[in-house]
Structure 1
Amino acid sequence: MEKLTVEVEEGSLKGTTRTDINGRTIYGFQGIPYAKPPVGELRFKAPQSPEKWTGVRNATANGHGCYSRNMLNMITGSEDCLFLNVFTPELPGDITSLRPVMFWIHGGGYTSGSSDTKVYGPEFLLTEDIVLVTINYRLGVLGFLSLDDQELDVPGNAGCKDVIMALKWVQRNIASFGGDPNNVTAFGESAGGAIVHLLMLSPMAEGLFHKGIAQSGSALNVWSLGQSNLAKQLAEILECPHTDDKSILSFLQNLPVNKIFEAQEKLCDDHSVNHVRPIGPIIEKVSGKEPAFLTENPLELILKGKYHKVPLIMGYTSNEGIFFETPQKRKKRSKVVDFEKYVSHFYELAKGSEGSKEIANSIKLFYFGEDVPDVEDRERFSIINTDTYFIRGIYTSIRTHSITLKEPLYLYRFSIDARLNLIKKFANITLKGAGHADDLGYLFKTVMTPNLPEDSVEMVTVRRMVKLWTNFAKTNDPNPIEGVTWKPVSLKELNFLDIGTELVSDVNPDNDRMTFWNDVEMKMLPS
């Protein structure tokens, strides 16, 4: 019997075997702690280095995800959640050369999700010669609470600093699994995609990764950053008798985690485009005591070129707004047509102001023309949600990076609509196109993945996605692919690849809609 053990700096790990979709044996090491449990006095604070253990640690099952509510509306996970998984095609002793590392950051709006193999199984990606790492990080107020008093060491962004700590673990240990610490691709979807982009902008991430793939999320999406006054809002909800930061922190650190979570769910986590969401990364106040994850406005950092210049893929699904048709979102759907909720808070226009109403009317005319808008016209509202919540921020990110990034920069649109579209299948949605997170089912095997004939559109797409993503991880270039060249974006041309039933190389995706939003933003510039 094979000896399924690996030595890392913190101790010995016992793993397990699985089989990829080609029938090859792969090796998994799960539930590996990459930091101290962030509990007690470490609640809300930056992660601390992991402790060593004696003996052989069992690494054959997923570690806890962060305490949160999942897509089935169940509360799961634990405050002790800083674990990662490693999957590799070879064990120590068999390794002849180090492989590219792909480091996955899950999405979930900074409030849900985990690296659980029921959703993020390695059986697709490990058909290629890469090492896969998937991580958990702190969510909700556990990961994104901030306090103004800099002496308390709670400046915010603990969840993002968890990601940094996991990347440092990779640098120290991944060679033991056959991974190359000098060739790490950070990739993620939705909030995970935004974090990938924020890693490019973070001084803390220097040298920790070498390429990025941001799927359906960027630092310039309207939902990508949160508010910096969460602690006082929580204290008020919890009827905390104190008003100073030090006492509020002590009060919150001594509450059971379920009480913190109950208060979190009472926060107005308004996902409207015209509100800054409460929970998310923030621009930190620089104290000089502890390293800051994000110190300036993301757009300004990109335009100044003050970021890590690494090869980058960015993209989106063709109908991201399908996400708003999931059962939980449908329950919260307003019966009133209000186009002002699509006026970005970036414009700094008060709702009800003349400027806000003027833009709202432009949106109505562009998407509905002379038709009377009806909230039950889900197809058109889905496209508005697609553009305002997702594509616009990604489009702006690509355009601004093309000015200052000299490394390869690629744009894609994922439009396949088939049986592995994760969200559509889960929520039984009939709208056309690929919805938010529908691309995940073609990169990761899930508990819902059916047996797939090799010639099926689903398996063909899995093979294509895996090849594109792993080619990029290996060489900085997703090419070669069958019969088409995926050209990088340049200052002159917005090249992109449409990933549908066929691969199509083209320019200027969704150009009419993006031209409309360009015109809206031009009107916002000072005259």
Structure 2
Amino acid sequence: MAKTRFLLELLVLGSLVVAQNTSVSSYPDTDVVIVSNNDLNPSNPDRASALFLTNSFTCAEAYAACAQLQETLLPSPNSTGLNAQNLSVALTSCSVFTPSYDSTDDYPGSSTLSTADLSARLPVLCTNSAPLTRSNITADTSRQIQLSTPAAGTLVGYRDKFSFRFLGIKYAEPPTGEARFQPPTPVQASPYTVRSALEYGPTCAQPPDADNGHEWYDAEDCLQVNVFSPVVNSGTNSVQTAPKLPVMFFSASLSVVSFAVHGGGLNTGDSGPIPFNETSSGYVGPSTSNIFDGTNLVSYGGVVLVTVNYRLTAFGWFNASNAALRDTLLALQWVQDNIEAFGGDPTHVLIFGESAGGGMTRYLLGTNPAYTEGLFSAAILESDWPTSNQFYSPARSLELSLTLAKALGCADNSSTEFNETMAVCVRALPTMDIVATSYDLNLSWEIIVDGDLVLTDIASSIKDGNYARVPTIWATNECEYCFFIPDSIPTNASPSAFPDNLDIWFNSTQVQKILDAPPDLYPYATAPSGGDLDGTVLQLAQLITDWYLHCPMLYLSSLADNTTNPGNNYKVMFAVGLGSTITANPRTCPGQVCHADELYWVFATAETDNLYQPLTPSELATTQEVIKRWTSLAWTGNPNYEGAVVEWPPYTGDNEVIINATATETIEPYRVAQCDFIENQLGLVFGQS
């Protein structure tokens, strides 16, 4: 499998594919790889890293090259501490992703330079003294490196213990003034334009919510990506023979390039740090969380991670613009244009996201293939809300725009149709007026079926095959809605709370059908309690989890695999989680796997956030397993990595993968009867006219 050979190929071939880069005199003229034995276990005393310089150097040049990186040659084998020999031993003894390497072989670095002809040219191993980046500690950006890219200029990033980090890279011009609500315009930067990528950019304009620290934000010039990679292709003489890394593209709210999309209901969220003061275990004090930090993910998984910001609330969808979707498409094009400089493979791009980020991933899957061809090769949807975040008709979207325009004084209250004059008026208003008014009105902005970029809703697209038919994981958590149970419903409510509150989510016909359903589907009067929740409240939360998340995703994954994309869809349910800072709820989430509680498995950032430390052996095994599965999909289009104990089957209707609390996986027909009832009796709707 390609992933298990990753570091070995780097060491043997000593090169990576690169863009044509300009030499930067203050840095050594070589590609640099962070070689590590990162097993994600902070308790491992031998967890270490070094810098592998792929080009060839004489002894004197090697000393100078390491010094330019503020490092020294890795000590020879007879020295104490990390050295060329024990690093090679460590690399043979950690995870499935590390290579097999014979410590008796010649190893590039001081171990060979100490005995070889000093005029000989060899690749080099340098120390890596950079610390692991921590969410609550000011980042050490002193170990900087410049990277020339084809279309994003020369970026100044920095390195930590396990990755190179390039933060706050603008991919679009400011969408302000005349450009507000319009399609984004790509940033134009020559290779000689030096741009700082040392800090996260501003958070997009949005109202307060749990996933932004309950604060207001007012930036519109916020369209940026963050790139994490164990490699920088900064040399001018790279040999284009070694494999490139897959990319994971995460939309916070999309790697292989991994492209990640953050959550936040399309109204809030960010791809960088957020303030927080509690977990589901209770108050922890003022702190900072960076749950989407990529250093552990890229180091352990052998991938490049890209996280993205896109326009939120009305700025992303007003006037039926689909501007937020266009932002994400432009960011994916940025990946195609630039990611090779970061060691990434533009032909292997996995898009993934959580919550609204899962929704944005679904939107990208359903986008007219004429606009997405070649942009991504696989997808993961975590905790998507397919029947809540629906595909809107232009008429429905313009109704929301008219409602906002009226409230902002840009339309008369008697107006029945939205027009361009109203749009121009809203475009000229202060940022926070738009944010606050949309928030006060509780407007739900969604993707628009415009007949060009978006042809129809996702279920219809799957049925007719006119969508991105790529390998896809559809993932949910056991009790997503436990986080959202209203405060009006006490955790120890009596059985009457179940029927008495159904009208919050269902119409009268649906309520009656639920009450007439077989009692074993939702046994609210007899169900045992779970964690801090009475059985009645837990059954209510599981019903709404089924209604909004689990069953719609079950339906779509089964529909895709049984019709137009057979063998490529995997349905996964997390029965274990670590309480997320994004959705901390000490009232209803203790003992439950709530919304977003899988994120610490996916990114291995409980360590960098300094939460839940030390992980138990089972928790460590779970995060290792999840990252193996996610990055295997990025590498090969299949989550079944070499050596996996359990073979994940494509989902066909009754074979869901359950990730259990004991770090094991089972295959079972999880809640199929409940989903059959919801589909056939209550109905699943994916688009609104």
TM bracket (short chain)? 0.7 to 0.9
Instruction: Identify the residue that residue 130 of structure 1 maps to in structure 2.
Output: 303
Q: Distance in 2 between matches of 1:184 and 1:488?
A: 22
The separation in 2 between residues aligned to 1:281 and 1:301, in whole angstroms, is 14
Distance 1:114 1:490, change over 3 A: closer
Contact 2:354–2:384 (CA<8 Å) still a contact in 1? yes
TM-score, scaled to structure 1 = 0.84
Q: By how many angstroms is 1:201 displaced?
A: 1.5
1:338-373 Cα deviation digits (max 9, x unpaired): 323433xxxxxxx44xx345335336954246679x
What one-letter code is carried by the residue in structure 2 that aligns with 1:260? I
**Residues 515-524 or 300-309, more deviating:** 515-524
Secondary structure at 1:330 match in 2:
coil
Instruction: Name the stretch that deviates more: 511-520 or 451-460.
Output: 451-460
For 1:204-261, what per-residue CA distance to the aligned partner results, in whole angstroms no more than 9, with x for missing partners?
Answer: 222210000111116x333344541221000111222455511111111110000001
Say if 1:58 and 1:515 are closer, same or farther in 2 by CA, change over 3 A: same
Q: Distance in 2 between matches of 1:52 and 1:483?
A: 44
In the TM superposition, 1:318-467 aligns within 5 A as: 318-325=478-485, 330=487, 337-343=500-506, 351-352=507-508, 355-362=509-516, 366-368=521-523, 377-402=536-561, 403-418=563-578, 421-422=580-581, 425=584, 427=586, 429-444=588-603, 445=605, 448-450=609-611, 452-453=613-614, 456-467=617-628
Q: 1:257 aligned to 2:412?
A: no
Alpha-carbon separation, structure 2, partners of 1:30 and 1:296: 35
Structure 1 contact 103–184 (Cα < 8 Å) conserved: yes
- Cα distance in 2 for residues equivalent to 1:369 and 1:428: 19
What's the counterpart of residue 233 of structure 1? 403
Distance in 2 (CA, whole Å) between partners of 1:301 and 1:417 is: 32
Residue 205 of structure 1 pairs with residue 372 of structure 2: yes
Aligned pair in 2 of structure 1 residues 160, 330: CA closer, same or farther (>3 Å)?
farther
Q: Separation in 2 of the partners of 1:357 and 1:426?
A: 27
Contact 1:422 1:439 (C-alpha < 8 Å) held by counterparts: no
Letter in 2 for 1:102: M
Letter of the 1:123 partner, please give it: T
Question: Is 2:293 aligned against 1:121?
Answer: yes
CA distance in 1, matches of 2:635, 2:538: 39
Residue 35 (structure 1) aligns with = 172
Please state how far the C-alpha of 1:311 moved relative to its aligned partner.
0.7
Instruction: Tell me which amino acid in the other structure corresponds to 1:264.
Output: S
Q: Distance in 2 between matches of 1:460 and 1:490?
A: 24
| Cα deviation, residue 386, structure 1 | 1.0
Aligned to 1:48: 185
Flag the 1:101–1:225 CA change in 2: closer, same or farther, 3 A.
same
Do 2:271 and 2:307's aligned partners in 1 also have CA atoms closer than 8 Å? yes
Q: Say whether 1:17 aligns with 2:17.
A: no
User: Structure 2 CA distance, aligned partners of 1:103 and 1:499?
Assistant: 26
Task: Give, in angstroms, the shift of residue 436 of structure 1.
Answer: 0.7
CA separation in 1, counterparts of 2:466 and 2:411? 43
1:129-162 residue CA offsets vs partner (Å, 9 max, x unmatched):
100000000111110112xxxxxxxx33211111
Structure 2: stretches of 5+ with no match in the other structure? 1-67, 70-143, 251-260, 274-289, 528-532
Structure 1 133/429 Cα, relative in aligned 2: closer, same or farther at 3 Å? same
- Three-state SS of the structure 1 residue aligned to 2:421 is helix
Question: Separation in 1 of the partners of 2:549 and 2:473?
Answer: 15
Partner in structure 2 of residue 282 of structure 1? 448
Distance 1:429 1:495 in 2: 26
CA distance in 2, matches of 1:17, 1:301: 43
The secondary structure found in structure 2 opposite 1:280 is coil
- In the alignment, is the contact (CA less than 8 A) between 2:482 and 2:589 conserved in 1? no
Question: What's the RMSD between the two structures over aligned residues?
Answer: 3.0
The question of whether the paired residues in 1 share the 8 Å contact of 2:577 and 2:598 is answered with no
C-alpha distance in 2 between matches for 1:81 and 1:407: 39
The Cα of 1:324 is off from its aligned counterpart by 0.3
Task: Tell me, in whole angstroms, the C-alpha distance in 2 between the residues paired with 1:369 and 1:27.
Answer: 51
Amino acid in structure 1 at the alignment position of 2:224: F
Corresponding residue of 2:84: none
Is 1:145 paired with 2:318? yes
- Cα deviations by residue, 1:394-445 (Å, 9 ceiling, x for unpaired): 0111121112203521111111144x54456564644433111000112221
SS at match of 1:161: helix
Report the Cα offset of residue 459 of structure 1: 2.0
Compared CA separation, residues 224 and 330, structure 1 to 2 (3 A): farther
In 2: Cα distance, 1:339 partner to 1:86 partner: 44
% identical equivalent positions: 26
TM-fit CA distance, 1:113:
0.6
Residues 1:93 and 1:369: Cα distance change in structure 2 (over 3 Å): closer
For structure 1, the residue ranges without an aligned partner over 5 or more in a row are 147-154, 270-277, 287-291, 344-350
Q: Does 1:107 align with 2:248?
A: no
Per the alignment, residue 275 of structure 1 pairs with none
Matches within 5 A, 1:175-254: 175-203=340-368, 204-217=371-384, 220-225=386-391, 227-228=396-397, 229-241=399-411, 243=415, 245-254=419-428
- For residues 241 and 316 of structure 1, the distance between their equivalents in structure 2, rounded to whole angstroms, comes to 41
Query: 2: distance between equivalents of 1:112 and 1:140?
Result: 7
